[in-house]
Every structure is written in C-alpha cells, then in structure tokens.
Structure 1
Amino acid sequence: MTRSRRSGVLGGRPAATTRGRLSSVAIDLFTANGFDETSVDDIAAAAGIARRTLFRYYPSKNSLPWGEFEEHLAELRNLLHSSPSEAPLGVSLRDALIAFNTVPASERDEHRRRMSLLLGVPALQAHSMIVYADWRAVIAEHCAERLGLDAASHIPQTIAWQALGTALAAYDQWLLDADADLTELLRVGGDILINGVSSLTA
C-alpha cells in the first residue's frame, strides 16, 4: 500500500486539498529559509491566499508541517481495524506501521524534508508532543480492544509508547542515511516490538 504527501510518522494522503497544498508550500519555505525565519505571512503569500484564510485551515504555524492530521489518524484506525483478527497483536502493529509509512519514490524527497523539520526543529517539539499523544491514543485503543483492557491502562499505554518509539527510531536512522530503506527499518524495529529485547541477547 502506498500513499503520497504524507505527514511523517503519522502517514498521510495525497495533497489534493487546500490543507494539503498549504502544508507542502510551508514545508518548501521552511526547508529553504528556516522554520523560525519563515512567517505565516510568507506562507500565505506563497500560497496566494490571505493570512486570515490560512488560519481557517491551520490554527498555528507549528501545525502546518503535520498536514491533514485528523484524516491521517482515521487512516491509521482503519489500518488497525482491518488487520486480520488471527494475527498476533504485535504483528498487526508492525504491519500497520509499515503500510502507514510506505512512501512512493516520487514523494520520498518531500517526505524526508517534512520529517527533517518535525524531528529536527526545536520550535516544533512542543506541538509534536500533542500530535504524538493523539497518535498513541489510536494505538492504545487498538491494543485495548484486542486485549480486553481499558485504553488508559498501563499495558495498552506501554505498547503505544513502544510503537511510537519504533517509528521514531526508524525515521531517525532514515534521515541519517539517504540510502537507508525506511520500510526495512520499520520492519526490524517492528520485530523487536514483537519479540522484545530478550530476542537480541545471547
């Protein structure tokens, strides 16, 4: 399964909407000029819209790199919901992470720029924590449903944090090496998520 114009760890959809296009314009400007150096007015001007119009689509500059986040969360839920019921929980999480973050070659450069911003710009980190919390909630809900537990309880929350760490670690490595295979990094990390640290020790 492939998708384009994705929003990073949380995946994405084609940027056919105004929200998607605005996010792409912002990423180009942030990459070329710097996040702090690029104003909302700069983005609005580059997109050919008024500042007020931009704020109808995004509440802040910090939210622009994430793109159509609510739609991405719905897609993640659908991926997890459609996973085979007979598949072990860890396998369903690993496979969903891989499918959700599969990037076609034509979109790889923009995806790398987006993720470089999201993981490398200090000013974005506070907003990212909010996004990650919502993302983890989707994972925790799936785990809770499979395990018959409350989504807010320790085990679903622990697995959700582990899944997030798996994705972020894969992206960290991918950004360090232009030739790295993101899918393979997610698969290896997902296998550790499934089997645990004990599988790596002698």
Structure 2
Amino acid sequence: MSESTPLPIRERTRRLAQTELTSVAQDLFVAQGYDGTTVDQIAAAAGMSKRTFFRYFPSKDDLVIGKYDLFADRMAEALDERPADEPIWESLRRVFDTTLDYVQDDYQRARNEAMDEIVRSTPQLYARYLEKMQRVQQLLIGRVAGRLGARGDDPSDPRPAAIVGAAFACMQAARQAWFASDRSDTFGDYLDVAMKTIQLSERPTA
C-alpha cells in the first residue's frame, strides 16, 4: 500500500461530525421535505446547538452539497491508499468499491435517491452539485496524472481526464444496468463487467 499522511485528530473529528449531521439532516429532509426542514431542527435532532451546527456547515445548502465534498475526499484517499505499482484502471475499480453500499444497501439507496431528487429539483443546489462532481473527477485526475508522470494541470495531455472520465462512465453504465436487472448479481459484479470492456493503455505510445 502507498504511504499517506494520517488525518489530524481534529480533522477526523470534524469529518465524523459532518457525516453525522448529514445523515441526520437527510432523514429529516426525506420525512419533511427540504424546505420544511430548518437548521434548528437539524441541530436539535443531532443533539447540538444551532451555533455548533454553523461550525461545521455555513448553511443548510452547504450541508446538502457538503456530502459531495466528503465523497470526493473519500475517493481521493482511497486512490492514495492503492499500491503505487498497481495498474491505474485496477486502482480506479477498487476506488469505486466506496460506492457499493450507496447502491446495494436498500436503506442508503432509498435515502440517496430521495436526496438526489431534492438536489435536482432545487436550482441552486443542482448548480453547486455539478461543480462538486467536477471536483470529484479533478481530484482523481490529478492523482492519475501523477501515476502517469504527467502534470494534472496540463491541458495538453488528455490521458488523465480521459481515463477518469471513462471510469466514471463505466460506473454510471453499471449502475443503470444493475437497476434494470433482477439484481441477482451484485453491483460490484456489474462494475467489473463494465470496466473490463474498456482496455486502456497507461503509457504513451512511441
């Protein structure tokens, strides 16, 4: 495994609190609707003051969108933990294991689908969602570029963005196919099939 710097205790504590707040808030949003849920209600349900809530999220909108930052960080950290000599495509497949429970677990899937509908139907949330999903890919693109010996901010090198974009396309195709199936196989099996259909060269040709 590659070595990575452990997160400071304060940052780990902050992330745990943000994750807990997000979980509590999502349950309230699903039960009461986004507009019908206040910051006071979220804070009370999480057992904290409104003032403490604002230490973790500047607003209710930020709480909803913040889960995508946590998701991005989780995926980036998962890639950092893969062996440096592992093929990039295999590393990305293993990174996608972080999404399995969100699709396969009935409770998490139902809650995520409800939250996705809230985001899609709220213009200011949807615009920020698109920005956050771009950040997810950019974090991975920079790391893939490093594996290729390239610069992640070099727009003249299409390889890192192409590899990450193809991997996310495979994940989306697998998700759609799995939902359309009888689900006798796992979502992970579908990911394996989707990603094995694409062969990527990780080294520049002469």
TM-score (norm 2): 0.68
Is the alpha carbon distance of 1:82 and 1:163 closer, same or farther for their aligned partners in structure 2, counting shifts above 3 Å?
Answer: same
**Residue 164 of structure 1 aligns with which residue?**
168
1:111 pairs with one of 100, 108, 112:
108
Would you say how many aligned residue pairs link Structure 1 and Structure 2? 180
1:35-54 Cα distance to aligned partner (Å, 9 max, x none): 23323233223223333321
1:120 pairs with one of 117, 121, 127:
117
Q: Are 1:73 and 1:135, in contact at CA under 8 Å, matched by a contact in 2?
A: yes
Q: Larger radius of gyration, structure 1 or 2?
A: 2
Q: Which amino acid aligns with 2:171?
A: A
Is the alpha carbon distance of 1:112 and 1:177 closer, same or farther for their aligned partners in structure 2, counting shifts above 3 Å?
Answer: farther
How far has the Cα of 1:144 moved from its partner? 0.4
Superposition map of 1:21-170 within 5 A? 21-65=20-64, 72-98=71-97, 100-103=98-101, 108-121=105-118, 122=120, 123=122, 124-152=125-153, 153=155, 154-170=158-174
Is the alpha carbon distance of 1:16 and 1:126 closer, same or farther for their aligned partners in structure 2, counting shifts above 3 Å?
Answer: closer
Is the alpha carbon distance of 1:148 and 1:102 closer, same or farther for their aligned partners in structure 2, counting shifts above 3 Å?
Answer: same
Q: Which amino acid aligns with 1:21?
A: E
The yes-or-no answer on 1:187 pairing with 2:192 is: yes
Show structure 2 runs of 5+ residues with no match.
1-11, 201-206
In the alignment, the residues of structure 2 paired with residue 30 and residue 174 of structure 1 have an alpha-carbon distance, to the nearest angstrom, of 27
Q: Are 2:102 and 2:112, in contact at CA under 8 Å, matched by a contact in 1?
A: no
In the alignment, the residues of structure 1 paired with residue 181 and residue 62 of structure 2 have an alpha-carbon distance, to the nearest angstrom, of 26
In the alignment, the residues of structure 2 paired with residue 144 and residue 47 of structure 1 have an alpha-carbon distance, to the nearest angstrom, of 40
Bigger relative CO (Cα 8 Å, ≥ 6 apart)? 1
How far has the Cα of 1:136 moved from its partner? 0.8
1:141-185 Cα distance to aligned partner (Å, 9 max, x none): 122012222213332123223333333444455567794732223
Show structure 1 runs of 5+ residues with no match.
1-12, 197-202
1:78-112 Cα distance to aligned partner (Å, 9 max, x none): 332333344332122112212x224299x924421
TM-score (norm 1): 0.69
